[in-house]
């Protein structure tokens, strides 16, 4: 399984366009598997900078995803008004090793 950062359209929460950076996970065959909100952390300052640069690289040339790309509707979006976050996945998702697509 691999992952990268992508933009996700979440305009359904607002009265204007709104996109967010999310971590997107893929099945081995490239199908979308799920997404979660990213957090920027690392063991060092340089690691944080590397992760921020990955975000820019990952999102700059890819289209904005929609919930429908994951087979979801706005009513399925678990992000609440308090903006708490969780991993969103298909029923077939299993625990496995995850690597960034560049690794």
> Where along the chain do its domains lie?
2-94
Q: Is it the case that residue 85 has pLDDT exceeding 50?
A: no
**Max avg pLDDT among 6-15, 31-40, 61-70:** 61-70
90 touches 35 (CB < 8 A): no
Q: Is it the case that residue 84 has pLDDT exceeding 80?
A: no
Q: Average of pLDDT values for 14-34?
A: 89
Q: Is it the case that residue 10 has pLDDT exceeding 50?
A: yes
CA distance 61 to 86: 26
Look at 16 and 50; give whichever has higher pLDDT: 50
- Residue 64 has φ and ψ, to the nearest 5°, of -70, 130
Q: Is it the case that residue 5 has pLDDT exceeding 80?
A: yes
């Amino acid at each position: 399984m691999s992952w990268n950062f992508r933009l996700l359209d979440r305009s359904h929460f607002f009265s204007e366009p709104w996109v967010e950076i999310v971590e997107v996970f893929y099945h081995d065959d490239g199908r979308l598997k799920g997404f979660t909100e990213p957090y920027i952390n690392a063991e060092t300052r340089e690691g944080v900078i590397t992760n921020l640069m990955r975000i820019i690289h990952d999102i700059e040339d890819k289209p904005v995803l929609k919930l429908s790309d994951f087979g979801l509707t706005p009513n399925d979006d678990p992000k609440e008004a308090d903006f708490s976050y969780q991993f969103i996945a298909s029923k077939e998702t299993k625990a496995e090793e995850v690597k960034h697509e560049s690794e």
